[in-house]
């Protein structure tokens, strides 16, 4: 019954029970059935209640099952406010690469404004031939593009700078990253209509919130792949994602993707706003700070199993997680189950898209002993996700932003999963 | 000029070759100078666009204690929100204290940010004089300017922040493809 190929696929490829990534991809079911120690669950009644009467009516706008109500963002507001701060995507509760719009992370600096699209306008001015005002109706007439791309706050995972590892879920630590299908109008088309003057090398993007969130964007990025996003996962943006229009800059740190966009001013130099100088700048151990570190570096995190979860029993599991890079596609992800002594390559769900979350998977036979799981991503530029020790060693712990080190999860005897520094 | 049909053929080819080169329906409405002036509140390091008006630290202290102290504490010492004063000499420490006095590179940023985002519960409510005065107060508390210095559209851009020289831009222009 068991074919030689399946036997091969169950061979260990790295230390402490990591199995070949093809196990789950080809002939997997048969091999899995023979290999697992899954205990039989109590069977449901032969004819459940749901089959004995008609179900609920249709509805105009769907809601998730009430059985999933516990899946929620981790909300942390700044003291004295309700709308400022961040809420994190529960990464450990999600699969695939698309983040449901309702669970997309939030990072606001003065709450979520309520904007009527009929009243909203986008002004393009400054070093342009023709200052122009665009209504939302007008923008809807422009050619659009749609792309599946991640968005990550550059302050994501910052608690990993703490002396002691924060004991939270994967989302609680790393959940300031989400991935959506964003659709909108290429900014280059609108800038061309306004006519950028040769000395216009930067632009200031300003939001219509109570913080007037403002960031300077290089003209090269604006002309390359920036869009004025109007849609997220097929429907108009959610208010907390910038309704009715936000800037979207693929791969760049989240804060620059200005929500509730109302103004673009073309300038010769950066405006040096508060949120690109006093915040979102990177202080190094020598006292010098870096401005304008825009792309988010290669990164990954195992979401299953992950922090605060418990593995019930020894046996065959699928390690699963997400990887991404602001510099392009994820080339490969390597997994270790022995604290980094040995690594093996995980399978990547396709298609692997540039600047998008990429789902990786790896079969693992847990023998019930303490184990440390790690994932290490490599992007198409060859950049390798660093260890925490290497990252902290060069940047110190006051750097605050752009933390992208390897995440280690400890699986204790008994199955409790916790955050560890290795 | 191009023959129109040739131009259309060229545009069609460009559409296939490069989505970013698309042509839009050109629906932007010209903005009048008055409209632009009403929206354009951002102030860069050169101070261009700073409004008329002026203020001193003494006037700023009055505004601060009425509108800012609840979040930023007595004399800008912080709590429950950001500390605004002090921290000079801590930037190489394990726990550096980043305030506008110890860290911020440009004084114009103080005016720009206060005017558009503060006080937290009522942004865009301060007058130009109040904003200059608050800026003067915070700069004087940090020892960046004299207590009696007047901040206005001429003097503010000339203020050199203590940490100005310690920033480097990490941005590099991409090479032309």
Q: Which residues of B touch A269 (CB under 8 A)?
A: 44-46
Helix axes B128-141 and B57-67, enclosed angle (nearest 10)? 100
Closest Cα in chain A, distance from residue B168 (Å): 5
Q: Could you tell me if A181 and A304 lie in one domain? A: no
Residues contacting A49, CB < 8 A, separation 6+: none
Handedness of CA B143, B146, B147, B152 (dihedral sign): negative
Domain assignment of residue A37, yes or no: no
A133–chain B Cβ distance below 8 A for any pair: yes
Question: CATH number of the domain at B43-166, please?
Answer: 1.10.760.10
Q: Could you tell me if A209 and A313 lie in one domain? A: no
Q: What are phi and psi of A15, to 5 degrees?
A: -60, 155
> How much is the pLDDT for B174?
83
Dist. CA A52–CA A47, nearest whole Å: 7
Q: Could you tell me if A280 and A315 lie in one domain? A: no
Strands A347-348 and A358-366: antiparallel
CATH label of the domain that carries residue A334: 2.60.40.650
Dist. CA A345–CA A332, nearest whole Å: 7
CATH label of the domain that carries residue A131: 3.90.420.10
Contact between A254 and A324 under an 8 Å Cβ cutoff? The reply is: no
A106's tokens: 């939030």
Domain assignment of residue A41, yes or no: no
Dist. CA B127–CA B116, nearest whole Å: 11
Measured in residues, chain B has a length of 177
Closest by alpha carbon to B19, among A378, A155, A95, A186? A186
Helix axes B128-141 and B107-117, enclosed angle (nearest 10)? 130
CB contact under 8 A, A185 and B168: no
Q: What is the largest CA-CA distance in chain B?
A: 71
The DSSP call for residue B75 is: G
Q: What are phi and psi of A107, to 5 degrees?
A: -145, 105
Domain assignment of residue A103, yes or no: no
Closest Cα in chain B, distance from residue A37 (Å): 49
Q: What is the overall mean pLDDT for chain A?
A: 93
Q: What is the mean pLDDT of residues B25-47?
A: 96
What range defines the domain where residue A244 resides? 121-288
Q: Could you tell me if A307 and A192 lie in one domain? A: no
Last residue in a domain, options A288, A315, A345: A288
> Is residue B6's pLDDT more than 90?
no
> How much is the pLDDT for B152?
98
Segments of chain A with pLDDT less than 70: 1-9, 24-42
Q: Could you tell me if A325 and A232 lie in one domain? A: no
CB contact under 8 A, A125 and B36: yes
Domain assignment of residue A309, yes or no: yes
Domain assignment of residue A341, yes or no: yes
Q: Could you tell me if A247 and A369 lie in one domain? A: no
Closest residue to A78, CB basis, from B31, B70, B81? B81
How many CB atoms lie under 10 A from the CB of residue A355?
Answer: 26
How many CB atoms lie under 10 A from the CB of residue A340?
Answer: 17
Dist. CA A369–CA A375, nearest whole Å: 19
Q: Which residues of A touch B23 (CB under 8 A)?
A: 143, 189
CB contact under 8 A, A188 and B109: no
Interface ipTM: 0.89
Closest Cα in chain A, distance from residue B150 (Å): 22
Strands A85-88 and A74-77: antiparallel
Q: Could you tell me if A271 and A303 lie in one domain? A: no
B26's tokens: 């050109």
Domain count, chain A: 2
- List, for residues A251-262, the tens digit of each pLDDT value: 999 999 999 999
Domain assignment of residue A191, yes or no: yes
Domain assignment of residue A294, yes or no: no
How many CB atoms lie under 10 A from the CB of residue A256?
Answer: 23
CB contact under 8 A, B27 and A125: no
> How much is the pLDDT for A127?
98
Dist. CA A374–CA A300, nearest whole Å: 9
> How much is the pLDDT for A33?
41
> How much is the pLDDT for B21?
54
Q: Could you tell me if A150 and A204 lie in one domain? A: yes
Closest Cα in chain A, distance from residue B149 (Å): 23
Closest by alpha carbon to B169, among A277, A317, A54? A277
- List, for residues B141-155, the tens digit of each pLDDT value: 999 999 999 999 999
To 10 degrees, the CA torsion angle through A84, A90, A95, A98? Answer: 0
To test the contact with chain B by mutation, choose from A123, A136, A392 the residue with the greatest count of B C-beta atoms within 10 A, namely: A123
> How much is the pLDDT for A41?
56
CB contact under 8 A, B171 and A291: yes
- Poorest-confidence range of A79-83, B104-108, B129-133? A79-83
Dist. CA B85–CA A92, nearest whole Å: 40
Q: Could you tell me if A142 and A260 lie in one domain? A: yes
Interface list for A 248-277 with B (CB within 8 A): 262-263, 265, 267, 269-274, 277
Whole-prediction pTM: 0.92
Domain assignment of residue A211, yes or no: yes
Q: Could you tell me if A312 and A247 lie in one domain? A: no
């Amino acid at each position: 019954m068991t074919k030689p190929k399946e036997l091969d696929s169950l061979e260990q490829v790295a230390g402490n029970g990591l199995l070949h990534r093809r196990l789950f991809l080809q002939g997997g079911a048969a091999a899995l059935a023979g290999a697992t120690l899954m205990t039989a669950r109590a069977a449901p009644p032969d004819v459940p209640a749901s089959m004995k009467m008609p179900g609920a009516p249709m509805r105009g706008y769907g809601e998730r099952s009430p059985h999933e109500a516990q899946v929620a963002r981790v909300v942390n507001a700044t003291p004295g406010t309700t709308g400022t701060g961040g809420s994190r995507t529960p990464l450990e509760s999600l699969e695939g690469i698309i983040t449901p719009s309702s669970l997309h992370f939030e990072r606001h600096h003065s709450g979520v404004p309520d904007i009527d699209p009929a009243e909203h306008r986008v002004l393009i001015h400054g070093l342009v031939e023709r200052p122009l005002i665009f209504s939302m109706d007008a923008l809807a007439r422009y050619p659009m593009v749609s792309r599946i791309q991640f968005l990550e706050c550059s302050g994501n995972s910052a608690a990993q700078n703490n002396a002691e590892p924060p004991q939270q879920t994967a989302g609680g630590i790393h959940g300031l990253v989400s991935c959506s299908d964003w659709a909108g109008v290429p900014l280059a088309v609108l800038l061309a209509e306004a006519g950028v003057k040769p000395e216009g090398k930067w632009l200031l993007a300003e939001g219509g919130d109570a913080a007037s969130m403002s960031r300077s964007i290089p003209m090269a990025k604006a002309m390359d792949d920036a869009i004025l996003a109007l849609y997220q996962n097929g429907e108009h943006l959610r208010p907390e994602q910038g309704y009715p229009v936000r800037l979207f800059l693929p791969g760049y740190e989240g804060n620059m993707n200005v929500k509730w966009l109302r103004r673009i001013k073309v300038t010769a130099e950066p405006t040096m706003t508060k949120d690109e100088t006093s915040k979102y700048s990177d202080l190094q151990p020598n006292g010098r700070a870096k401005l304008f570190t825009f792309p988010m570096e290669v990164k990954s995190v195992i979401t299953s199993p992950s922090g605060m979860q418990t593995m019930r029993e020894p046996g065959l599991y699928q390690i699963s997680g997400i990887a991404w890079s602001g510099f392009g596609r994820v080339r490969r992800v390597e997994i270790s189950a022995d604290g980094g002594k040995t690594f093996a390559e995980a399978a990547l769900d396709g298609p692997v898209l540039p600047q998008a979350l990429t789902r990786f998977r790896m079969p693992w036979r847990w023998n019930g002993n303490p184990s440390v799981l790690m994932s290490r991503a490599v992007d198409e530029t060859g950049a390798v996700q660093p260890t925490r020790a290497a990252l902290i060693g060069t940047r110190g712990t006051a750097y605050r932003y752009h933390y992208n080190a390897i995440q280690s999860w400890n699986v204790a005897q008994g199955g409790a999963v916790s955050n560890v520094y290795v | 000029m191009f023959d129109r049909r040739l131009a259309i053929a060229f545009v069609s080819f460009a559409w296939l070759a490069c989505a970013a080169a698309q042509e839009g329906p050109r629906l932007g409405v010209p903005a009048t100078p008055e409209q632009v002036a009403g929206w354009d509140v951002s102030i860069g390091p050169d101070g261009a666009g700073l409004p008329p008006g002026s203020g001193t630290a003494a006037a700023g202290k009055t505004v601060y204690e009425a509108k800012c102290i609840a979040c930023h504490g007595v004399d800008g010492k912080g709590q429950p929100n950001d500390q605004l004063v002090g921290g000079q000499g801590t930037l190489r420490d394990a726990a550096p204290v980043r305030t506008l006095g110890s860290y911020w590179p440009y004084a114009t940023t103080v005016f720009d940010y206060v005017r558009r985002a503060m006080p937290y519960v009522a942004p865009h409510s301060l007058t130009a004089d109040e904003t200059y005065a608050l800026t003067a107060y915070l700069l004087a508390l940090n020892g960046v300017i004299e207590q009696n210095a007047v901040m206005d559209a001429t003097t503010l851009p000339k203020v050199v922040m203590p940490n100005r020289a310690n920033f480097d831009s990490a941005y590099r222009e991409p090479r032309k493809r």
